[in-house]
Structures are given as C-alpha cells and as structure tokens.
C-alpha cells in the first residue's frame, strides 16, 4: 500500500513537471497536489462564485481538474470585474489556508479577465436539478455533477483499457459503418449521404444498405481470429424507441473478444476481473468525486463499490434463475415459465433482492439469443451470459461464439440471413476455426453503477435518445 502511494506520488510529480514545460499555467489539481512547487503561480479557470466584503474578496475558481477547485483571496479592487461564470487568469502565491477543508489557497497579486460573463449565466451557486442541467447541456460540465461525471468517465475508460493492456489484449478499431445487424434486432440506423456530387441516388453510395454499427463484435471476432485477444471501445447506435433511464440511441460499448478459451466460466472470470479492476481504478483515482456522489446522490455508493471489488459475483443459470423467480414470494407482472424472457422486474429481483450483488445469469434458451452464440449440448440453450447489477439491470452481455461451421451455417439459414453477405464470417470457421468468446460492457450503465446516478442521460456528455439530438 505504502509502495503504491509512493509510486502514485512520483507519477504525479513527474506529470506536474512535464505539464509545466508544455503549458503556460498549471492546473488547480496539480497546484493543490504538489505544494512544494508553489511559488509565484498563474492559474486559469472559471469563477464558480465571488464573495465581496469591505476589506477582502473571495473567489472560488474551478478549471475542471478537480472537484473542489481553489479559493482565491483578492482585494475588493481586484475583484471588481469578477463575476460568476467569467474566465480568468489569476497570478499570485499559494499560501496556507486558515480554513480546515482547503489546505492551500491563492493569495492573488494580479488578475486578467479572459472572458467576462453577464448575469444571465444560468449556473448559480446553488443546487440545480439534473433535468435543468440537461437543458443547458453545453454548460453542464461546469457544475460539480457534470465535471465529476466526466472525470469518473475518463477514469473508468482508462481502468478498462489498462486491464486489457495488462492482459495482452490489442485494441482494435472496428468500423462504425457496417452492412450487417450483429444483434439481429432490427434496431439499426440506415446511413446514406444527404446528396452525392455525381447525382447518383444517395442509397446507391455503397451499392447496398449500410447502417451505423449496433456492436463491433463480428469485426472483433474477425481480428481475434488472428491476434487472439482484442478489444474495441467506441460508440454504437441503436434505433431504440423505448424511452427508459437505461437506453440511449448512441452509447459507448467496450467489447472484448478472446480466442483460445474453452468454457463460459473462463469468460465470466475475465468479465468479472475487468469490471472489478476498472471499479478499483476509479475508486483509487477519483476518490474525491466518488465521495461527492456518495454525499449528494447515493449514500450507499462507497460501501457498495468496495464490496463489489472484494467479493466474487454470483453465478446462476437461466434455468436456476427461473426456479428462483417461481419460488419468490412475490407477484410479477410478466410470466416466469421456462422459455420466457427475463424482464426488468425479474432482473431487479435476482440482483437487488435475491443475490444482493452483481450476478451472472448464464445459458439462456436458444430462441432468445442471436445466431452467433454457441449451442450447448442440451440442445435448447446457448453458452451465453448477462451480468445483472443491483439497481441497474443488465450491464454486460456476452457468449462463447459458435465456432463449428456446419452448426453456425444452419443457424444462420434458420434465422433467414443472407449467407453470401456473411460468407466472410463463415470463412473464419472454415480457415482455422478456434474456440472463442467475448462480451460487451454498456459503458453508460457502468457509469450509473460507479456514480449512483439513475439515468444514462446524466453520464454521457451529449445524450441522444428518441426525439432528442440537440447540438
Ligand atoms: O447485450 P448487448 O446487446 O450485446 C451485444 O451487443 C454483444 N454483441 C456484445 C458482445 O458480445 N461483444 O449489449 C451489450 C451491453 C448491454 O448489456 C447494455 O449494458 C448496453 O450494452 N446497452 C445499452 N446501453 C445504453 N443504451 C442502449 N440502448 C443499450 N443497449 C444495450
């Protein structure tokens, strides 16, 4: 632990020194983190609030590098042109703060207003509702919640990528434009140019229908059949018409695909490892932001996250899950007979009440799942899983892939797919097929888990959902 702290401190110092060479000013975070560097400093930030008294004025400034920002002490004359929302450069020296919370504050010697701000600025020093903040999305990140979300989002992505790098995965960039619907759900957006210079009908641009990708999985499988372990991390698109707190039309997915694993349990181990690793990374790197969410959004957050990285996730088959639901002393709206889909109410019961922890539900009925999932020997289920989280529902979907070409082709034909269009996918089974599997983590849902927020629209910088595509 001590060694980790020292390494962390050394990294911070090194990055601070490098930053000083590259940028004209230091970030507030680096100034507060490395007090030994304080002398005369200049800092650029936006004003969160100004308090002007007769003899002295106080400004709270924030540049987004940390939650709490910095307190600046000014003379009333220096503070004259300062107002909430303005962008300023303050020069001065870091001094010990008499207050308990703030270790250091800035004693200002010079002020430059880089961009003034009038009184119509909508973010004032009070708590605004999340709905209001969403309506001023272009300024949302200037508030505490908006900034904290983006720092956690960054750390969560970094944690996931670090996990895969440490486990020898290669990051690949799968295309956004595709000619197939990986999940077979028909929720694809069709793509065509608004006009073509040649005057050709725009639908003919690609000589075939082309869509925004719903998942990079099939392309990731293509690349895992050569590089063994790959992952892709990017936006995916679904023409999802239901308006729920869990669905966006554009969201980010981290998809991992690995060859040379033989069993579903091995895939679950990797999934659990990656989710726990990234959670720990966020806890280590965003402790201030997590404490903020714990205080203002979800008072169970810190304890819940700590528990989730210490204990293995529960595991049960779909068949066991149905038995649990049937025995539950609860009236469900939707049926709980074998073969019926698990609805949100069922998922909620399994994760939040029965297991009270994240739970993998595995081996769903074949009819409920896409063509690419590997058939189990029982002839009625496939080797797949959903990872369900308490309070959130499905976070991850994944499976072993059908690597046996005859079985795969039969399934594709039964699903009415155009075999010629997917010949390349069948070729992967024809030329050196290998057992493999993978999964996709819904990144915004992961952020709900990490922040305690309840709606995916709060955790994506610019949300898109049915009827909404502002900016
Ligand atoms: O379960 P899904 O549909 O899985 C796939 O797309 C696989 N091809 C992934 C793979 O194996 N490589 O989606 C994966 C996750 C879901 O578990 C959910 O967390 C999230 O993506 N998700 C959404 N998140 C926000 N808005 C939506 N409309 C979402 N649809 C799915």
Q: Distance, CA 467 to ligand 1 centroid (Å)?
A: 21
**What is this structure's pTM?**
0.94
Q: Which of 434, 74, 88, 99 is nearest to 258 (CA)?
A: 434
Q: Is 69 in the pocket of ligand 1 (CB under 6 A)?
A: no
DSSP H helical ranges for 113-263: 130-135, 137-140, 144-166, 217-227
Q: Is 347 in the pocket of ligand 1 (CB under 6 A)?
A: no
Q: Distance, CA 333 to ligand 1 centroid (Å)?
A: 24
Choice from 362, 436, 445, 448 to test ligand 1 binding pocket (greatest atom count within 8 A of CB): 445
Give CATH for domain 28-115: 2.40.50.140
Q: Distance, CA 59 to ligand 1 centroid (Å)?
A: 44
Tens of each residue's pLDDT in the chain, 471 residues: 455 555 656 666 555 555 557 888 899 999 988 866 667 899 999 999 999 999 999 999 999 999 989 999 999 999 999 999 999 999 999 998 887 665 899 999 999 999 999 999 999 888 899 999 999 999 999 999 999 999 999 999 999 999 999 999 999 999 999 998 878 777 999 998 888 777 777 778 898 999 999 999 999 999 999 999 999 999 999 998 888 999 999 999 999 999 999 999 999 999 999 999 999 999 999 999 999 999 999 999 999 999 999 999 999 999 999 999 999 989 999 999 999 999 999 999 999 999 999 999 999 999 999 999 999 999 999 999 999 999 999 999 999 999 999 999 999 999 999 999 999 999 999 999 999 999 999 999 999 999 999 999 999 999 999 999 988
Q: Is 320 in the pocket of ligand 1 (CB under 6 A)?
A: no
- Backbone phi and psi for residue 371, each to the nearest 5 degrees, phi listed first: -60, -25
What DSSP string runs through 72-123? EEE-TTTTTT--TT-EEEEEEEEEE-SSSS-SEEEEEEEEEEEE---TT-S-
Q: Is 221 in the pocket of ligand 1 (CB under 6 A)?
A: no
Q: Where are the domains of the chain?
A: 28-115, 141-458
Q: Distance, CA 232 to ligand 1 centroid (Å)?
A: 13
pLDDT at 10: 60
| Cα 405 to Cα 409: distance, rounded to the nearest angstrom | 6
Q: Distance, CA 231 to ligand 1 centroid (Å)?
A: 15
Q: Distance, CA 186 to ligand 1 centroid (Å)?
A: 14
Q: Distance, CA 171 to ligand 1 centroid (Å)?
A: 19
Q: Is 182 in the pocket of ligand 1 (CB under 6 A)?
A: yes
Q: How many CA atoms lie within 13 A of 151 on its CB side?
A: 24
Q: Which of 396, 386, 367 is nearest to 318 (CA)?
A: 386
Neighbours of 206 (CB within 10 A): 13
* CA nearest ligand 1 atom 29, residue: 247
Q: Which of 277, 56, 246 is nearest to 162 (CA)?
A: 277
Tell me the two tokens of residue 5: 């702290």
* CA nearest ligand 1 atom 11, residue: 439
pLDDT at 437: 98
pLDDT at 60: 96
Q: Is 253 in the pocket of ligand 1 (CB under 6 A)?
A: yes
Question: How do strand 359-362 and strand 314-317 relate by DSSP bridges?
Answer: parallel
Q: Distance, CA 184 to ligand 1 centroid (Å)?
A: 13
Nearest ligand 1 atom to alpha carbon 445: 19
pLDDT at 196: 76
Q: Is 251 in the pocket of ligand 1 (CB under 6 A)?
A: yes
| Cα 347 to Cα 341: distance, rounded to the nearest angstrom | 10
Q: Is 445 in the pocket of ligand 1 (CB under 6 A)?
A: yes
Q: Is 436 in the pocket of ligand 1 (CB under 6 A)?
A: no
pLDDT at 36: 64
pLDDT at 16: 57
Q: Distance, CA 442 to ligand 1 centroid (Å)?
A: 5
Give CATH for domain 141-458: 3.30.930.10
Choice from 253, 341, 386, 448 to test ligand 1 binding pocket (greatest atom count within 8 A of CB): 253
């Amino acid at each position: 632990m001590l060694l980790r702290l020292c390494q962390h401190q050394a990294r911070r110092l090194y990055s601070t020194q490098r930053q000083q060479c590259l940028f004209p000013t230091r970030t507030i975070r680096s100034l507060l983190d490395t007090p030994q560097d304080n002398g005369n400093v200049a800092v650029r930030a936006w004003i969160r609030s100004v308090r002007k008294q007769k003899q002295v004025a106080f400004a709270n400034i924030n540049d987004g590098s940390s939650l709490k920002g910095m307190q600046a002490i000014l003379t009333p004359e220096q503070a004259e042109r300062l107002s909430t929302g303005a962008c300023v450069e303050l020069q001065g020296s870091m001094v010990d703060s008499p207050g308990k919370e703030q270790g250091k504050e800035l004693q200002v010697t010079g002020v430059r207003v880089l961009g003034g701000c009038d009184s119509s600025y909508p973010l004032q020093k009070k708590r605004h509702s999340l709905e209001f903040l969403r309506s001023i999305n272009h300024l949302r990140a200037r508030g505490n919640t908006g900034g904290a979300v983006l720092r956690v989002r960054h750390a969560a992505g970094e944690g996931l990528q670090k996990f895969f790098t440490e486990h020898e995965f290669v990051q690949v960039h799968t295309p956004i434009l595709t000619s197939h619907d990986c999940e077979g759900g028909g929720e694809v957006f069709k793509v065509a140019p608004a006009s073509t210079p040649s005057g050709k009908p725009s639908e003919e641009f690609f000589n075939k229908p082309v869509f925004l990708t719903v998942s990079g999985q099939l392309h990731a499988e293509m690349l895992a059949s050569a590089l063994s372990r790959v992952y892709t991390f990017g936006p995916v698109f679904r023409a999802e018409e239901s308006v729920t707190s869990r669905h966006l039309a554009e969201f980010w997915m981290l998809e991992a695909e690995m060859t040379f694993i033989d069993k579903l349990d091995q895939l679950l181990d990797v999934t659990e490892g990656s989710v726990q690793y990234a959670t720990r990374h966020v806890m280590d790197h965003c402790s201030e932001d997590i404490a903020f969410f714990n205080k203002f959004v979800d008072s169970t957050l810190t304890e819940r996250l700590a528990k989730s990285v210490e204990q293995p996730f529960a595991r049960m088959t779909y068949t066991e899950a149905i038995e649990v639901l049937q025995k539950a002393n609860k009236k469900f709206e939707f049926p709980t007979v074998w073969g019926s889909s698990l609805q949100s109410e069922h998922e909620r019961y399994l994760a939040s009440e029965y297991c009270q922890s994240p739970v993998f539900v595995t081996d769903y009925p074949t009819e409920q799942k896409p063509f690419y999932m590997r058939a189990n020997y029982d002839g009625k289920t496939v080797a797949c899983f959903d990872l369900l989280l308490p309070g959130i529902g499905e976070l991850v979907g994944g499976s072993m892939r059908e690597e046996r070409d005859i079985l795969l082709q039969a399934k594709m034909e039964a699903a009415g797919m155009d075999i010629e269009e997917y010949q390349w996918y069948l070729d992967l089974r024809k030329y050196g097929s290998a057992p493999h599997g993978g999964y996709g983590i819904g990144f915004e849902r992961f952020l709900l888990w990490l922040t305690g927020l309840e709606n995916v629209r709060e955790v994506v910088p610019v949300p898109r959902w049915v009827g909404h595509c502002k900016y």
